[in-house]
Amino acid sequence: MKTKKSAGNVLLGNEAMAWGIIEGGATVVASYPGTPSSEIMGAVNGIKSEHGLTIHTEWSVNEKVAFEVALTNSYLGRRSAVMMKQVGLNVALDPLMSSAYTGVEGGFVLIAADDPGPYSSQTEQDSRYLASFAKIPVFDPSSPREAKEMVKRAFDLSEQFEIPVMVRPTTWVCHARQGVPLGRIEGGDGAPTFKKDPQRWAATPRFRYILHKELNRKVREIATKNNPEPVFTPQGAELAVIASGVPYAYAYDVIKAMGQEKRVALYKVDLPYPMGPKIDDLVQNHLQTLILEEPYSVIELQIRCREKVRGRLDLTIPSEGELTPDNVAKAIATILGQEVREIGEPPAGGRKPSLCPGCPHRAAFWALKKALPKGIYPSDIGCYTLGLNLKAVDTCLCMGASINQAAGLYQSFRQAGAEIPPIVATVGDSTFFHAGVPALINSVHQGACFVLLILDNGTVAMTGGQPTPASNGPGKRMEIEKLTEGCGVDFIRVVDPYDVPLLIQLLKEADQYAREEERGVAVIIARHPCLIYGGRDEKREEGEIIIGEECDSCGVCTKRFECPALQEGPQGTPVIVRALCVNCGVCLYVCPQVAIERR
Amino acid sequence: MDLQMVIVGLGGEGIIFMTRVLVEGFYRSGHPVISTETHGMAMRGGSVTSQIKIGDYQSPLIRYGEAGMLLGTSVVEAQRNRPFLREGGTLFMNTDQQGDYCVDATKIAHGLGNPRGGNLVLLGYVLAHLAPAISLEPFLEVVKGLSPERFLSGNVKALQEGWRVALKADKKRRKGKGIRRHG
Ligand code: SF4
Ligand code: SF4
């Protein structure tokens, strides 16, 4: 059911942060989608159109681009925000490090959303580390309401110290719901003014040294005022828990549920970096201190004397995975010498993730396995990583790596004089724009020979269907055909992956071009709109899909093709789940007995 | 009020809609509330769990053995998630089976001419067990606010009917074991 917008002020954490950005008066907001941060930009755009605001918002081509576009508005004395997921910040690390030195004129807030667990990322890295690495302050909200307030505080702090400021929410802030009071939408900043100052904005190494000194001064000053806030302060507490972010919320609930707020002191850290001197006093004044933070140890490492400190470093808390109310309760109970309530395993079962019924990626992977079964298949980040289930994905490193890894495979085999296997990189359209273009240029220029299968579904599907540079926008639409041609590719074919036989034939031709004839990179663009975010109204052929009598229950369609609409029936014969089947007809090409037909 | 509740079911069943109705309704009733949903990655039809905490809570996650109420839109999911319930907690199920706190919400919704209203019948049924600490009005307001025009009156009726059915069942039970109150 399509629902209307919120009736009250109950907001998702990501929506709350969007309000923080708007109320904070940002005039330029940029982002690249990534779980769990993606809904922030959607909400900013929603508020923008609902209230007729004129702020510039953009889904940029990648995080580095988003960062630099937004940052520059803050060079001009105006407020700006940029949002991304934690691994997205790796892509934007270059401008992050440098902008800490140059500083800003207008408030600049970087929201980097972490994914402890991880639930949908290649690492569970801690963005607060990157804040401390860059020497910029970082807020660590524990709830949606606080996340909104911290975004606004971050703008103020950024402006006061002319320094970029990070806000680092985690999944259970981004995706929690809570009543959040809304404030006034401010008018936004005045006209941009660029104060020419080459020693700052274009500093040479000698001046960079001076900027670094200045940065250190700012950080020291922020640290002096940054001390843990007391929450429970019982007299003579033996244990002090110092926590930030969602682990603070767990600690609060758990200590109360245990009835220990008269015995255990609780302190809350809003700004885990840079920590002030008071935390060392707290540690000295208690028999034991437990530090709760995630996913890594940032507060803990800033404590000078850690003899009495427990946390992730001494493995009181496991040093990987997310914190939970359970392991927080266990740690506190253990330290207090109390009985630990054994908790069951999380509920097993549930279905394993799978591409949607009728997903064009499944058709493309099926064709790939048929055409070049002996191939090596480097792949990339997106829904199509689930091509793993079809055994058509061999590697998944980070955004855009598929193309470089295909080149790496080729160079390695060629250098060794070994027989080169078919190499087929698969990459989604948005990932191709994000980091694939320089990779393709490099591959072509270095003479690598492989097949590049671009899975073009016209959207950033995994994160909720955000637009790509090929979508309609204020400027020109990019065309992947022209782009690959511009990168120097001579073999470019476009095909609808639903036409499985044609795609199989093209893949073989492409492999011949790349491998046997060694003529370079062959590109196939498999273009079909995403079923969820683009193809809903698509016209389908008439007639229902049925399983005929020829079926010998081989299981190819249910296990290897694994369309969720094809499920194993009682005797191992497949049944079609009508509620899920979208009538795409791709399974017609899959059954070796040709038992699946359209009637 | 102090209550932790878990709703379980499958993607596409409207669990998120139910969660929003509850959270916004409690919020409007003046109760502090925080919630969250978990679901599988890029998957339709996978398991969905939503957790709602009403009272002086800071985190949205519920530990095993602490939920006062577990709501299942299907029996399988409800059984699988039973460990969430605390001792004496109540499992509410939408099912055609007989049993305490079982309600055939789907059938009732069909009877109302709103086949998609089963979840709201279940919600009304559950909320009635929290009376008199809460009244249905704020929840009705939220349903009105969140429902698209063409489902509006059907949804309102579904919520009211669930509430009514529960009160009736409660009367019957009262004769036997006495009422069980929550919250
Ligand atoms: S037509 Fe076949 S492949 Fe397509 S959704 Fe239905 S069962 Fe799956
Ligand atoms: S692939 Fe064909 S023969 Fe094999 S189980 Fe499916 S329908 Fe039956």
Asked if B44 and A356 come within 8 Å (Cβ–Cβ), the reply is yes
Asked if B61 and A324 come within 8 Å (Cβ–Cβ), the reply is yes
Mutational test site, ligand 1, from A575, A583, A589, A598, max ligand atoms within 8 Å of CB = A583
For residue A252, which residues of chain B lie inside 8 Å, CB to CB? Answer: 57-59
CA distance A186 to A13: 21
Closest CA to A240 of A225, A251, A250, A249: A251
User: Does A535 contact ligand 1 (Cβ within 6 A)?
Assistant: no
The ligand with the least distance to the CA atom of A562 is 1
pLDDT of residue B73: 87
3-state DSSP call for residue A491?
A: strand
From the list B40, B46, B60, the residue facing A172 with the nearest CB is B60
CB A385 within 8 A of CB A431: no
Identify the band that residue B114 occupies on the pLDDT scale cut at 50, 70 and 90. confident
Is there a single domain that holds both residue A218 and residue A180?
A: yes
Closest residue in B to A383 (Cα–Cα) = B42
- Main-chain phi, psi angles of A583, to 5 degrees: 65, 35
Q: What is the CA radius of gyration of chain A?
A: 27
- Among A162, A190, A224, identify where a domain stops: A224
CA distance B172 to B183: 21
Superfamily (CATH) of domain B3-182: Pyruvate-ferredoxin oxidoreductase, PFOR, domain III (3.40.920.10)
Pairs across A and B, CB distance < 8 A: 141
| B28 contacts: CB under 8 Å, gap ≥ 6 | A8, B138, B141, B142
pLDDT of residue A190: 83
List of chain A residues with pLDDT < 70:
1-8, 187-188, 343-351, 535-537
Residue A291 lies in a domain: yes
Q: Tell me, what CATH number does A172's domain have?
A: 3.40.50.970
Classify residue B11 as exposed, middle or buried by CB count within 10 Å of its CB (0-12, 13-18, 19+): middle
Mutational test site, ligand 2, from A370, A545, A546, A553, max ligand atoms within 8 Å of CB = A553
From the list A350, A532, A580, the residue facing B47 with the nearest CB is A350
Chain B contact present for A37, CB below 8 A: no
CB B160 within 8 A of CB B167: no
Residue A539 lies in a domain: no
Q: Whose CA is nearest to atom 1 of ligand 2?
A: A591
Closest residue in A to B43 (Cα–Cα) = A353
Nearest 10 degrees: Cα torsion B54, B59, B65, B66: -20
pLDDT of residue B41: 45
Q: Where are the domains of chain B?
A: 3-182
From the list B20, B81, B116, the residue facing A347 with the nearest CB is B81
CA distance A44 to A67: 16
For residue A4, which residues of chain B lie inside 8 Å, CB to CB? Answer: 145-148
Asked if B42 and A178 come within 8 Å (Cβ–Cβ), the reply is no
The DSSP-derived string for A413-464 is HHHHTPPPPPBEEEEEHHHIIIIIHHHHHHHHHTT---EEEEEE-SSBTTTT
Mutational test site, ligand 2, from A562, A596, A597, A598, max ligand atoms within 8 Å of CB = A596
Q: How is chain B split among helix, strand and coil, in percent rounded to 5?
A: 45, 20, 35
Closest residue in A to B59 (Cα–Cα) = A249
CB A181 within 8 A of CB A67: no
Chain B contact present for A259, CB below 8 A: no
3-state DSSP call for residue B122?
A: helix
DSSP strand pairing (A596-598 vs B3-10) = unpaired
Chain A contact present for B23, CB below 8 A: yes
CB A503 within 8 A of CB A495: yes
Residue A341 lies in a domain: no
- Residue A179 burial (CB count, 10 A): 21
| A141 contacts: CB under 8 Å, gap ≥ 6 | A13, A147, A149, A150, A167, A168, A169, A173, A245
Substitution target in B27, B59, B79, B152 with the highest count of A β-carbons within 10 Å is B59
User: Does A590 contact ligand 1 (Cβ within 6 A)?
Assistant: no
Asked if A7 and B146 come within 8 Å (Cβ–Cβ), the reply is yes
Residue located via tokens 């690249």? A32
Chain B contact present for A176, CB below 8 A: yes
pLDDT of residue A4: 43
Is there a single domain that holds both residue A417 and residue A516?
A: yes
Residue A588 CA, ligand 2 centroid: distance in Å: 10
3-state DSSP call for residue A546?
A: strand
Chain B contact present for A3, CB below 8 A: yes
From the list B27, B42, B46, the residue facing A8 with the nearest CB is B27
CA distance A477 to B173: 66
Chain B contact present for A383, CB below 8 A: yes
Residue A349 lies in a domain: no
pLDDT of residue A108: 98
Is there a single domain that holds both residue A137 and residue A271?
A: no
The pocket around ligand 2, CB under 6 angstroms, is made up of A 547, 551-557, 574, 591, 593, 595-596
Is there a single domain that holds both residue A368 and residue A318?
A: no
Is there a single domain that holds both residue A520 and residue A555?
A: no
Residue A558 CA, ligand 2 centroid: distance in Å: 8
- Main-chain phi, psi angles of B94, to 5 degrees: -90, 105
CA distance A236 to A226: 24
Q: Judged by CB atoms within 8 Å, which residues 66-125 of B form the interface with A? A: 66, 80-81, 83, 116
CB A235 within 8 A of CB A261: no
Mutational test site, ligand 2, from A390, A549, A558, A581, max ligand atoms within 8 Å of CB = A558
From the list B41, B58, B116, the residue facing A253 with the nearest CB is B58
CA distance B5 to B54: 8
What's the domain range around A169? Answer: 10-224
Is there a single domain that holds both residue A260 and residue A381?
A: no
Element (H, E) at A327: helix A325-336
CB A131 within 8 A of CB A273: yes
Contacts 24+ apart (CB under 8 A), B167-172: B167/B128, B167/B131, B169/B103, B170/B128, B170/B129
Q: Judged by CB atoms within 8 Å, which residues 109-148 of A form the interface with B? A: 119-120, 142-144
Q: How is chain A split among helix, strand and coil, in percent rounded to 5?
A: 40, 15, 45
Residue A348 lies in a domain: no
Q: Whose CA is nearest to atom 7 of ligand 2?
A: A551
Q: What is the CA radius of gyration of chain B?
A: 15
Substitution target in B58, B86, B123, B150 with the highest count of A β-carbons within 10 Å is B58
Is there a single domain that holds both residue A310 and residue A166?
A: no
| A542 contacts: CB under 8 Å, gap ≥ 6 | none
3-state DSSP call for residue B71?
A: strand
Is there a single domain that holds both residue A210 and residue A233?
A: no
Closest ligand 2 atom to Cα of A566 = 6
Residue A523 lies in a domain: yes
Number of domains in chain A: 4
CA A483 → CA A132, A381, A429, A472, distances in Å? 38, 20, 12, 17
CB A179 within 8 A of CB B27: yes
CA distance A177 to B25: 13
- At A438, the amino acid letter reads P
Asked if A253 and B32 come within 8 Å (Cβ–Cβ), the reply is no
User: Does A567 contact ligand 1 (Cβ within 6 A)?
Assistant: no
- Among A498, A527, A556, identify where a domain stops: A527
Q: Tell me, what CATH number does A259's domain have?
A: 3.40.50.920
Residue A555 CA, ligand 2 centroid: distance in Å: 6
Q: Please state which of the ranges A433-442, B23-32, B98-107 shows the lowest mean pLDDT.
A: B98-107
Is there a single domain that holds both residue A481 and residue A434?
A: yes
CA A534 → CA A49, A464, A471, distances in Å? 22, 11, 11
Residue A425 lies in a domain: yes
For residue B32, which residues of chain A lie inside 8 Å, CB to CB? Answer: 179
3-state DSSP call for residue A562?
A: coil
CA angle A296, A146, A282 (to 5 degrees): 55
CA distance A1 to B40: 19
Is there a single domain that holds both residue A370 and residue A457?
A: yes
Is there a single domain that holds both residue A204 and residue A244?
A: no
- Quote the minimal CA–CA distance from B176 to chain A in Å: 33
- Residue A539 burial (CB count, 10 A): 5
CA B13 → CA A371, B8, B120, distances in Å? 39, 10, 11
- Cβ-count burial B108-144 (b if 16+ within 10 Å, e if not): bbeebebebbbbbbbbbbbbbbbbeebebebbbbbbe
Closest residue in A to B79 (Cα–Cα) = A347
Is there a single domain that holds both residue A187 and residue A58?
A: yes
| A576 contacts: CB under 8 Å, gap ≥ 6 | A545, A546, A547, A565, A566
